Amino acid sequence: MIRLPQLNDEKLFPDPSRALVEPNGLLAFGGKLSIARLTEAYSKGIFPWFSPGEPILWWSPNPRGILPLEHFYCSSKLAKLVRQGRFKVTLNHAYDDVIDACASISRNGSGTWITAEMIQAYKDLHLAGHAHSIEVWQNDALVGGLYGVVSGKLFCGESMFHRLTDCSKLAMYYLVDLLKAEEAPFIDCQMLNPHLQSLGCIETPRRDFLDKLAMLQSQSFSIDCWKARILSQSS
């Protein structure tokens, strides 16, 4: 029998070192997806992940999937797409549309983990300035994008989508460019999968990830600089 701490409005998260080995990283359940709870979670290397009908489950896996910015793999095909300038790229122009598009995609035939409750919570995070999106456009049509949460000087990637080939990778290219300009060390990818691995994602011990995360909490990004840079790069 799995015994997990149950959260309520007052109870703090357990130390991530107490997370289960199997399933990897399961730490606690319950609580609410409030702005305060989510920002606390991300500052401690914890994130929610659950399916419809399940209680809110909180995770901190070991090892952790990260994308060191210098490891980002930009294929010759993607580099050509960037040079062609056929697509317009924006920041926070259509956040709600991006998360809705990500939620509409069935992952490995098993539906989506981005539940209606998650969608609303992350839209609230965006309105509070903690979550951001990058959009890729062909004329007026949204054809790709990604969204994630900022915690200190760390971008925690949540999901991406494409409606045209490589347009999610194009969004990632511009995200990496923005983060490099501010000397961020890596993107939090949570858990490694083949697609993320193809982009340069690697695994690192949870303890190392948490130590680096703690150091990044006293720093911050300049979102206004992001907007100016992405406009100049993609126009």
* Co-location of 38 and 73 in the same domain: no
Together in a domain, 197 and 85:
yes
Examine the pLDDT at 234 and tell me if it is beyond 80: no
Query: Are 56 and 69 in the same domain?
Result: no
9 confidence band (pLDDT: 50, 70, 90): confident
pLDDT of residue 107: 55
- 38 and 82 in a common domain: no
| Count of domains observed in the chain | 2
pLDDT in tens, 38-63: 999 999 999 999 988 899 999 999 99
- 85 sits in the region (left: phi over 0; alpha: psi -120 to 50; else beta) called left
- Same domain for 111 and 199: yes
> 1, exposed or middle or buried, with CB in 10 Å at 0-12, 13-18, 19+?
exposed
Q: What is the CATH number of the domain that holds 27?
A: 3.30.70.3550
Is the same domain home to 140 and 218? yes
The predicted-structure confidence for 88-131, as pLDDT tens digits, reads as follows: 999 999 999 999 999 998 655 444 679 999 999 999 999 999 99
Asked if residue 221 and residue 116 are part of one domain, the reply reads yes
CATH number at residue 80: 3.40.630.70
Q: Is 213 part of any domain?
A: yes
For residue 1, being part of any structural domain is answered with: no
pLDDT at 105: 82
Q: Do 227 and 173 share a structural domain?
A: yes
Q: Give ∠ CA 161-167-171 in degrees, rounded to 5.
A: 80
pLDDT for residue 90: 96
Residues 197 and 88 in one domain: yes
Question: Is the model's pLDDT at 201 over the cut of 50?
Answer: yes
The answer to whether residue 13 is domain-embedded is yes
DSSP classification of residue 16: G
Gap between the Cα atoms of 208 and 185, Å rounded? 13
pLDDT of residue 106: 67
pLDDT in tens, 137-173: 999 999 999 999 999 999 999 999 999 999 999 999 9
Block residue for tokens 């130390």 = 15
Give me the domain span that covers residue 186: 65-234
Same-domain pairing of 189 and 204: yes
